[in-house]
Amino acid sequence: MAKVKICGLRTMADVEKVNRYLPEYVGFIFANTRRFVTDEQALAMSRALDRRIQAVGVFVDEPLGHVADLCDRGVIKVIQLHGEESEAYIRELKQQTDTTVIKAVRVQGVEQVTGLMSQEADYMLFDTCKKGEPGGTGERFPLEILMESLVRLTRKGDTVKPYFLAGGLDCGNVAEVIRQTECFAVDVSTGVETDGVKDEAKIRKFVESVRSLQHTADETVLPSVQEQKMRKENENG
């Protein structure tokens, strides 16, 4: 079953809402966006968070020392990188913190995606590319680009790491997206907001939409877009 990440928490009220529905992850954004939180705000929210939920710190080209400090203080349990962080940066970060790292890629094209797959990160995250926005756009990207990239990597014998899927997800489309892909987790922010504020009803519906798929485990499962594409190629010789 795909896991759920609710990103962009900003208030204690947001924490109370997610604690009721227990997504596996929540995100605190330390980058310069409208969902930015300070270290102390994140610390207070982290302390109030249900222990079954992992706090993810979201960064864009942040000094390594600051990220490591937040890990050391127990503010975050997972690191998510949305900038131009190098493989050397990720390697050093993991050595200093021994913390799970997610590396985000803003999807533009097949060659671009295959060229940016991190070998050092534990997970990848694929999000919509929009100029001037590191993420959280609330807009979809063509899944075909991602699927073609993963097919090429598989054909080459490269390891395809577990990945989070973001970009324009909401309770109305998330179940179908999960069926079409083999994502490890789905990541949502705008899709569970109303007028820029986390909406409890939308959070509940989103989590329920994802977890309802667990009941199909013993039923016939439709092949993913990636599987369909590879089968078609094999049939055509």
Domain count, the chain: 1
Q: pLDDT at position 225, please?
A: 46
Q: What residues have CB less than 8 Å from 59, skipping those under 6 apart? A: 30, 31, 67, 79, 80, 81, 82, 83
CATH of the domain at 17: 3.20.20.70
pLDDT tens per residue, the chain (237 residues)? 899 999 999 999 999 999 999 999 999 999 998 999 999 999 999 999 999 999 999 999 999 999 999 999 999 999 999 999 999 999 999 999 999 999 998 888 888 788 888 889 999 999 986 555 554 556 778 788 888 888 888 888 888 889 999 989 999 999 999 998 889 999 999 999 999 999 999 999 999 999 998 755 444 444 444 554 555 555 555
Q: How far is CA 167 from CA 139, 172, 176, in A?
A: 5, 13, 14
Q: pLDDT at position 220, please?
A: 40
Q: pLDDT at position 132, please?
A: 54
**Residue type, position 112, single letter:** Q
Q: pLDDT at position 182, please?
A: 82
Residue 225: which domain range? 3-235
Question: Could you tell me the pTM of the whole model?
Answer: 0.86
Q: pLDDT at position 131, please?
A: 58
Q: Where are the beta strands (DSSP E) in 51-136?
A: 54-59, 78-81, 100-107, 123-128
The 3-state DSSP composition of the chain as helix, strand, coil percent (nearest 5) reads 40, 20, 40
Q: pLDDT at position 230, please?
A: 53
